[in-house]
Homo-oligomer: A and B are copies of this chain.
Amino acid sequence: MTITQVDAEDHALPFNVFAKACPSRGTLEHITGRWGGLTLGALYEGSLRFNELRRRVDGVSEKMLSQTLHALERDGLVHREAQPTNPPRVDYELTPLGREVAERLLGLIHHLESRMDDVLAAREAYDGMRGGV
């Protein structure tokens, strides 16, 4: 009874993120996941090495950064450039597609940050209601 089959021949607009089995949902979760968005945002400024990225994205562990980068690379959003030098040097940078996505993501983030005072005020109002004055 699943209506989630995506026909490979019909390319019109076969993707619907609201359907749970749609592949776009998975990719959206890579992008908007806990570390995905911050990683894309950090790389928007330019190419970065692994540990630079790790310092830039405050709080991410080696494992999660590695995992996140693999997912983004697989989705074609990030390009990994390894140089066979010693010590090794690996640079990560956005692909054109990654850049488009990061741009929109950063727009969202900046917009949110510019209105955080409203969010904070709403939180206080909400908590005040429940706390019962």
- Residue positions of A touching B, CB distance < 8 A: 2-4, 11, 13-20, 23-24, 27-29, 31-34, 37-38, 41-42, 56-59, 73-77, 97, 100-101, 104-105, 107-109, 111-123, 125-127
Measured between alpha carbons, how far is A58 from B20 in the docked complex, in Å? Answer: 6
Task: Check A23/B120 contact, CB under 8 A, given A3-B114, A108-B108, A112-B31.
Answer: yes
Task: Check A27/B126 contact, CB under 8 A, given A41-B18, A97-B118.
Answer: no
Task: Check A15/B113 contact, CB under 8 A, given A28-B37, A108-B105, A119-B27.
Answer: yes
Pick from B42, B77, B120, B121: contact of A18, CB below 8 A: B42
| A32:B37 contact, CB within 8 angstroms | yes
Pick from B29, B104, B115, B119: contact of A108, CB below 8 A: B104
Closest to A75 in B: B119
Residues of B within 8 A of A107 (CB): 104
Min CB distance A44 to B, Å, is: 11
Name, among A13, A101, A116, the residue most crowded by chain B CB atoms within 10 Å (CB to CB): A116
